[in-house]
């Protein structure tokens, strides 16, 4: 197959949307997810090569342990060729209407915009022939609509995280709509140690240790 015949794919991952979907599965080891392997898995039949994978995320404020895990995960993804696009998180004052208690609620900012800009860039610069959007967030319908209107030659594929319902708004604006299951995530867990081309070995955080008896996908019989 010549280069001109290859269908090129670009993947954009809504990090918080995916994180909360995996968190709801109740299996922390699934958070140590290889987005490169997962992208290659769901792109089969739609693209021959993945040109780029963008992970849109933001650090959670005020929790040192969570931040260290997040940093380790970002580093592991970068070692797998994933681009990290960071937003930020703020704390917004909240009040309970029943008891009057006050607290600060963390809110992630810029992730939605980063997802949209990443998809726009991939589609409008001609880098890819197919864009894959991994989210269940209906707010991204406007993004798909814009790409449909301005880059009609670019195929749009929505990938729904596990345990989430497919969005009709997103489905109506896409050429294909895929849904991940827990098994898809389990098949794409990163190894315990990830070695980048340069720098220190990245070790899986203790919180992401798999359950006893679990076998890594690379070690399972074919």
Q: Report the CATH number at residue 51.
A: 3.40.50.1010
Q: Is 221 a member of any domain? A: no
Q: Is 216 a member of any domain? A: no
| Residues 78-97: tens digit of each pLDDT | 999 999 998 656 566 666 77
Q: Which domain holds residue 141?
A: 3-211
Q: Is 217 a member of any domain? A: no
Report residue 23 as tokens.
């968190």
Beta pairing partners, 49: 8
Give the span between the Cα atoms of 59 and 177, in whole angstroms: 29
Q: Is 222 a member of any domain? A: no
Best CA proximity match to 23, nearest among 192, 184, 208, 165: 208
| Residues 51-78: tens digit of each pLDDT | 999 999 987 767 788 889 999 999 999 9
The whole-number average pLDDT for the span 32-49 is 97
Q: Is the pTM of this model over 0.75?
A: yes
7 contact partners, CB below 8 Å, separation of at least 6: 46, 47, 48, 49, 129, 130
39 vs 108, more confident: 39
- Pairing state of beta strands 130-134 and 8-14? parallel
pLDDT band at 2 (very low <50, low <70, confident <90, very high): very low
Q: Is 189 a member of any domain? A: yes
Q: Is 219 a member of any domain? A: no
Q: Is 55 a member of any domain? A: yes
139 contact partners, CB below 8 Å, separation of at least 6: 112
The count of other CB atoms within 10 Å of the CB of residue 46 is 16
61 vs 214, more confident: 214
Q: Is 191 a member of any domain? A: yes
Give the span between the Cα atoms of 100 and 95, in whole angstroms: 6
Beta pairing partners, 177: 158
Give the span between the Cα atoms of 22 and 28, in whole angstroms: 8
196 contact partners, CB below 8 Å, separation of at least 6: 75, 78, 79, 202
Count of domains forming the chain: 1
Percent of the chain scoring above 90 in pLDDT: 78
The whole-number average pLDDT for the span 38-55 is 97
């Amino acid at each position: 197959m010549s280069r001109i015949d290859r269908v090129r794919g670009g993947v954009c991952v809504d990090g918080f949307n995916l994180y909360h979907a995996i968190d709801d599965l109740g299996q922390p080891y699934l958070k140590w997810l290889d987005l490169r392997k997962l992208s290659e898995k769901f792109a089969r039949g739609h693209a021959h090569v993945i040109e780029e994978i963008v992970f849109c995320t933001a650090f959670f404020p005020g929790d040192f342990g969570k931040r260290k895990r997040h940093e380790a995960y970002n580093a592991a993804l970068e070692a797998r060729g994933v681009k990290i696009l960071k937003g930020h998180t703020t704390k917004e004052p909240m009040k309970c209407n029943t008891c009057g208690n006050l607290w600060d609620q963390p809110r992630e900012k810029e992730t939605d915009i980063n997802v949209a800009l990443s998809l726009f860039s991939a589609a409008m610069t001609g880098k890819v022939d197919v864009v894959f959007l991994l989210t269940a967030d209906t707010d991204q319908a406007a993004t798909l609509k814009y790409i449909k209107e301005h880059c009609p030659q670019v195929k749009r594929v929505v990938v729904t995280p596990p345990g989430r319902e497919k969005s009709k708004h997103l489905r109506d604006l896409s050429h294909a709509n895929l849904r991940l299951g827990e098994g898809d995530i389990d098949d794409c867990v990163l190894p315990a140690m990830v070695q980048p081309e340069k720098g220190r070995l990245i070790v899986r955080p203790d919180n992401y240790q798999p359950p006893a008896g679990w076998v890594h996908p690379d070690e399972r019989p074919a």
